[in-house]
Structure formats: C-alpha cells, structure tokens
Amino acid sequence: MGMTMTQKILADHAGLKSVRAGELIEAKLDCCLGNDVTVPPAIEIFRELGVDTVFDRDRVCLIQDHFTPNKDIKSAALCSEMRKFAHEQNVSHYYELGRREMGIEHVILPDNGIVFPGDGVIGADSHTCTYGALGAFSTGVGSTDLACAMARGKTWFKVPQAIRVVLHNAPRDYVTGKDIILHLIGMIGVDGALYKSLEFCGDGVQNLRMSDRFTICNMAIECGAKNGIFHVDNVTLDYIAGTNPSRFSRGEYSVRIADADAEYDRVIDINLDDVPLTVALPHLPSNTRRADEIHGMKIDQVVIGSCTNGRLDDIEMAAGLFAGRHVADNVRCIIIPGSSRVYRQALDKGWLAVFDDAGCVISTPTCGPCLGGHMGVLAANERCVSTTNRNFVGRMGDKSSEVILSGVPVACASAIAGRVATPSELGIEGGIV
C-alpha cells in the first residue's frame, strides 16, 4: 500500500522507508514555533531539562503576537521573558515590535520563506497547521512538546489516517478559502477529521490563491484534523520563490505527491462552483449557513484580519469593497493587517486611506480580538462578524457575546449594511479583486 503526502513527509523525517497510519514515530523537525502565550511555560520546562542551548538557533521561531502591543502588566512580563530567552539563545527568527517585521506568526513565517514544501514543522499554537498550504507537514503542539523540541530538534507523532478532499472547478464570485473550509466543516462537523490529515487535491486547487490555501489549512484544526496539506503546484512554487529565492534556487525542499494506491479513511468531493458564501453562526465553526439566508441579523462589530484573513490579498479585497462606501453608524469595524509588511504595503497602495475614509479603525498587526485579548473585545450581548477562525462561547469577550465567522466579502458587506449581508445584497457585483 502506498503513502499519502503526510505519511511521506513523516517517513522522511523519521528516517524510514515507509510509515503506516497508527504507527508511533520520532521525527526530526525543520522548524519549531512559539508565541508570547506558549513560549514562557516552554522556557520553564526547557530549563528543567538541563539544556543550555536550543538545538539550532536557525530553526526556532519565536514571535510575539497574541497580546502585543502589551495590553497589561502580565502580558508585558510574558513578552519580557520571551525576549530575554530569544536574545540569550541568539534565535535567528525572532519577531516583535521594532524588529524588521512583527505581526501574526502564521502570516510572518510563510511570507519570510521559513517554511517550504516537504518540511516538518510544529508550533505551540493550534493553527500551526496553516503551513500545509505549502506542502509541508505542520501541526500544533503544547508548550511541553515545544520545550523538548527546542532542546532536541525532534518530537514524536502518531502517524495520522487521512481524508482526501478533491476540489473541482472554480469558486463563484467573492467565494474564498474561508467559505470553502467553513463549507467542509459544516459537512463533516468539528470532529469529522479527528486526528486525521486533510489532504487537498484536484483540478480545483489551481483556481485557489495561496491566501485561500493558507486559510483552508489554518482551519483544518476546526474539524479536529491533525494537519491539512495541499498538493504543490506552480502557484505554490511561484509564491515560495518570492519569499526566499536562495533556498528555492538551491532546491532545498522536497515536493511529496501521494501514491496512487495511498489509503484514505474517506474521500470527499467538493465542487467549488457549488460552494456559497458561507458563515458560521454561534457557537461552533460547524454551525454553518448560506450567508444570503441570514436576514435582519444586526451586528455591533466587524473584525477583518487574523491568521486566517489578514494577508495582503485579504486587505486588498477589503479595500476594493469599502472604496466609496461607509461603515454603518451602529457598527465598529476593525481592520488588522497580518504583519508590518502587509501594513506597509497596504499603506503604500493607499488602502489604509480607503479604510479610514470608510470609518474603519486600523490596528497594528496583532492577534488581538481573535482570542478575546484586546483591540476589539466584545461587551455583554454584542455580536460580531469576524474573519477569525473560532466562534466559541466567550471567544471574543463576554460569555453572552456572539461571533459569526465569515470571509472578507461578507464581513465588509455586513459592516456597510449594519447587519449580516453579502456584496450582492448591496448591489456590489464582481469577484475576487
């Protein structure tokens, strides 16, 4: 029996000719990642291991993004501890305010050419599965596993079973990766891919931008998946060539293609032209509805950004939708570029001025309101349409508040209408900018 994409990468990193679902293996890592919430407890465990230095200062990535700029004394203390450790270990890939680039980890790593096809990556953040969009095996772990990985450069895995998701045709106007992954989660449920690899392939992949693929893999965890991974094509290779040309030109990556006889627990076919603009109502990502079926649901806030939808393509799309229009009087709309690079590019292209003219608030790059941290926390009984990835009870603030997940087009239309809306409801025609 052949192997899936994920199984091939795990076999490579375990030094084995082949692996099978359910096997326990120890695999080398190309990168391990942590943030200001998960690194401080990992540092404590790292010290207890009696190790003086990280296994490779070029393969440890530390990014301050969850509670930065620091919202209170406790978050400042966490960031201070992380900063001291990064300087002590002379970590190459350390990102925070005032250093070459700052922002959200899952935007920074791909854009800076840190993850490539065939890599094995872990991160002490559940949405580390984002990097499967690049054809890498990438998954989230806890702070204890991160500490051990920083010390040893390897960790253990149970080889996951796989679900093959075959994408056909092209998406409709304004349908993005967020709609596609919400559609899938609505089909299979929040535990429909529990500890499985979601492997995306098919002729429809070529019609998805990298930003769509990042969003889809990012939310693989929301249906319980161990990881999500895309077949690598020219779109992928063109993207990585622009992020780290030296590594790309040296061929320091490996594209893994699933064998024709690879074993899958399930095969799901999705016609992209059948996927509607989709939202997830409170309080689960699987509570999905067609966006055009939601009528008269008033909102208080809109958040556009996060590791799912804070990339340059997302900001460009939002600017195109807000141009010449204004946020409803009863709504607060917060735009959060995913990194300082995205922020600066949006500034140079005049998009931030569009948002300001439309009555939006423009935030420094941060995770901020996604986890109820800061820069947009909800009060009691408030409702928010958000391009973030989770809408659990109390996720963005008070336990009585509600979060509706959507893609950028629905979020923008909702901000303008003052209620859940789609671009076509407002007479906005067209497609992806």
DSSP 317-359: HHHHHHTT----TT-EEEEE-SBHHHHHHHHHTTHHHHHHHHT
Cα–Cα distance measured from residue 189 to residue 208, given in angstroms and rounded to the nearest whole number: 23
Cα–chain center distance at 427: 30
CATH number of 280-426: 3.30.499.10
Six-digit token pair at 391?
A: 């809408």
Residues 197-249 have pLDDT tens digits of 999 999 999 999 999 999 999 999 999 999 999 999 999 999 999 888 878 77
Is residue 99 very low, low, confident or very high in pLDDT (cuts 50, 70, 90)? Answer: confident
Is residue 1 very low, low, confident or very high in pLDDT (cuts 50, 70, 90)? Answer: confident
Cα–Cα distance measured from residue 58 to residue 66, given in angstroms and rounded to the nearest whole number: 22
Q: Evaluate if residue 371 carries a pLDDT over 90.
A: no
Is residue 98 very low, low, confident or very high in pLDDT (cuts 50, 70, 90)? Answer: confident
Cα–chain center distance at 228: 11
Residues 79-95 have pLDDT tens digits of 999 999 999 999 999 99
How far is residue 140 from each of residues 124, 128, 224, 393, measured CA to CA in Å? 6, 5, 11, 22
- Residue 431, sorted as left (phi over 0), alpha (psi -120 to 50) or beta, turns out to be beta
Residues 20-52 have pLDDT tens digits of 999 999 999 999 999 999 999 999 999 999 999
Cα–chain center distance at 8: 23
What are the φ/ψ torsions at residue 345 (nearest 5 degrees)? -65, -40
Largest Cα–Cα separation, the chain? 63
> Contact at 8 Å (CB) between 122 and 128?
yes
Helix (H) or strand (E) holding 27: strand 24-28
What pairs with residue 215 in β-bridges?
none
Tell me how many degrees the CA angle 195-201-205 measures, rounded to the nearest 5: 125
Task: Work out whether strand 31-35 and strand 60-63 pair parallel, antiparallel, or are unpaired.
Answer: parallel
How far is residue 42 from each of residues 30, 88, 293, 384, measured CA to CA in Å? 18, 15, 45, 33
pLDDT of the residue at 252? 85
CA dihedral 286→290→293→294, nearest 10 degrees, is 50
Residues 267-308 have pLDDT tens digits of 999 999 999 999 999 999 999 999 999 988 999 999 999 999
Residue 380 burial class via C-beta count within 10 angstroms: exposed 0-12, middle 13-18, buried 19 and up: exposed
Cα–Cα distance measured from residue 169 to residue 272, given in angstroms and rounded to the nearest whole number: 6
Cα–Cα distance measured from residue 269 to residue 142, given in angstroms and rounded to the nearest whole number: 33
Q: Evaluate if residue 62 carries a pLDDT over 60.
A: yes
> Contact at 8 Å (CB) between 355 and 362?
yes
Tell me how many degrees the CA angle 361-177-181 measures, rounded to the nearest 5: 110
Q: CA-based Rg of the chain, rounded to a whole angstrom?
A: 21
CATH number of 5-272: 3.30.499.10
Q: Which residue has the tokens 């990102």?
A: 95
**Domain spans of the chain?**
5-272, 280-426
> What is the number of other CB atoms lying within 10 angstroms of the CB of residue 48?
9
Six-digit token pair at 283?
A: 């309080």
Cα–Cα distance measured from residue 262 to residue 282, given in angstroms and rounded to the nearest whole number: 37
Cα–Cα distance measured from residue 141 to residue 33, given in angstroms and rounded to the nearest whole number: 10
Sequence-separated (6 or more) residues with CB below 8 Å from residue 299: 331, 383, 384, 385, 404, 414, 418, 419, 420
Q: Evaluate if residue 433 carries a pLDDT over 60.
A: no
